[in-house]
Amino acid sequence: MRIGMIGAGFVSQNVAKLAIARGHEVMVSNSRSPRTLFSVGQALGCRTGTAAEAAAFGDVVLVAVPLTAFDALPAEARAGRIVIDACNYCPQRDGQVAELDRHEETTSERLARHLPGARIVKAFNAIRSIELVPDAKAKGEPGRRALPVAGDDPDAKRLVMDLTDDLGFDPHDAGSLAESWRFERAMPAYCVPLDQDGLVEALSVAERGVEVPDGSWRRSARMA
């Protein structure tokens, strides 16, 4: 599979490491210039390009950028494209976003408004970037971590779930984009190591607008 990545931060780089190790082709991009990604490309062994080039390159496009960058996402990431939303709303970084604060939309629904026609799937946002590589395990290996995946397009969601499985995690169908708030930032399932049963429980007890203590996910673990 060819995976284009918009955003060259730690999430993209660590997903890229897993993908390349499993034989996928990757192109990483940022908001500046491919020249600024020379070291990243060399270290990962991947291609680099502009955001538009990465979007056109990928069978799937992973977006991992601040919400303030949504307006600058390229047209190539729109109609018909499968786009993985790995973004999280962080008011300290993004500023206050009224629609999200009032729980009128999820971050993925917001991204869908910026990328009309794209097939948005929420995934890879509910794990800390530094845990992506060390927590990945082969299928059937004991202690495999489960990750939630949400989307409105069944075929796109299934493809992303298969990719999640291939990269070393048990995918869990967490419903539609409207339900993806259940694993957004500061929800019980956010960035906590969980197996399938633990993830199902954490998603079920989530209450919209009720956040877990800030940073508590850095020391939580609920693996069988």
pLDDT in tens, 101-150: 999 999 999 999 999 999 999 999 999 999 999 999 999 899 999 999 99
Cβ neighbors of 136 (< 8 A, separation 6 or more) are 18, 167, 168, 169
Residue 11 reports pLDDT greater than 60: yes
C-alpha closest to that of 163 among 62, 47, 37: 62
Q: Phi and psi dihedrals of 35, rounded to 5?
A: -65, -30
Reported as a pLDDT band with limits 50, 70 and 90, residue 224 is very low
Least confident of 32-36, 59-63, 71-75: 32-36
Rounded mean pLDDT of 151-156? 98
The whole-angstrom separation of Cα 24 and Cα 45 is 11
Q: What is the pTM of this model?
A: 0.95
C-alpha closest to that of 194 among 144, 141, 129: 144
Yes or no: say if 88 and 107 are a contact pair by the CB < 8 Å rule. Answer: yes
- The amino acid that residue 210 corresponds to is V
